[in-house]
């Protein structure tokens, strides 16, 4: 899959109406070994991927080397939760950011979920949801089920960017996003017991 990326910056056509780009480490899992042969799956990840694969084209975009990422992918994928593409930043130079404009998809239908705001270029911040990092040690983590609710709404929206802006302005993402950043200021949200469902 990664070789397809090396041949062209554009993904081949997809029959799915919307594309969900998912980060790997800290978002879907935590690597217990550097080769990712042993991972800690984020709570709820199996159901999350199955549910999202029904409504989105799934793309895994990671900064890990593609062969190591493939090790993790084999453990993540089960019937009904398949990713269409695996992209590794290691395959295309030093830029570790995830510029979804390069995918060759209609940007009104692309959502990126990542745990690292620094990897989201400012010009696509309205395509992104930055969630709290999972580091393998929190069995009560419920970020994926929280974000799935939002992603179901986005999948049927006309333009995910406008919808995300609106949800953010309305505070509907406060219990999901770690950072709210449409300018250059990175704001850490107040995670008190009332507004942070954990």
Site of interaction with Mg ion (CB under 5 A): 23, 25-26, 115-116
Closest to 76 (Cα-Cα) out of 57, 49, 43: 49
Contact 60, 86 (CB under 8 A): yes
SS3 at position 103: helix
Closest to 176 (Cα-Cα) out of 114, 111, 96: 114
Q: Is the CB of 64 or the CB of 160 nearer to Mg ion?
A: 64
Q: How far is the CB of 119 from Mg ion (least distance, A)?
A: 7
Q: How far is the CB of 56 from Mg ion (least distance, A)?
A: 19
Report residue 111 CA to chain centroid gap: 7
Q: Mutual orientation of helices 66-76 and 45-55 as an angle, nearest 10°?
A: 100
Q: How far is the CB of 36 from Mg ion (least distance, A)?
A: 13
Contact 49, 58 (CB under 8 A): yes
Q: Which residue is nearest to Mg ion (CB)?
A: 26
Q: How far is the CB of 28 from Mg ion (least distance, A)?
A: 9
Q: Is the CB of 131 or the CB of 164 nearer to Mg ion?
A: 131
Q: Is the CB of 84 or the CB of 89 nearer to Mg ion?
A: 89
Q: Is the CB of 25 or the CB of 132 nearer to Mg ion?
A: 25
């Amino acid at each position: 899959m990664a070789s397809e990326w090396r041949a062209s910056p554009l993904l081949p056509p997809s029959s799915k109406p919307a594309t969900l780009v998912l980060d790997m480490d800290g978002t879907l899992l935590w690597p217990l070994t550097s080769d990712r042969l042993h991972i800690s799956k984020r709570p709820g990840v199996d159901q999350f991927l199955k549910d999202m694969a029904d409504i989105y084209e799934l793309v895994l975009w990671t900064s890990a080397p593609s062969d190591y990422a493939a090790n993790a992918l084999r453990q993540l994928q089960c019937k009904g939760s398949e990713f269409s593409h695996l992209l590794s930043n290691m395959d295309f130079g030093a830029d570790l950011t995830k510029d979804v404009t390069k995918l060759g998809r209609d940007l009104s239908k692309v959502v990126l979920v990542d745990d690292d705001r620094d990897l989201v270029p400012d010009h696509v911040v309205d395509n992104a949801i930055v969630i709290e990092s999972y580091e393998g040690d929190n069995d009560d983590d419920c970020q994926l089920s929280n974000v799935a609710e939002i992603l179901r709404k986005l999948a049927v929206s006309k333009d995910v960017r406008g919808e995300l802006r609106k949800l953010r302005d309305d505070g509907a993402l406060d219990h999901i996003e770690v950072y709210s950043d449409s300018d250059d200021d990175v704001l850490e949200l107040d995670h008190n017991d009332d507004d942070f469902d954990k």
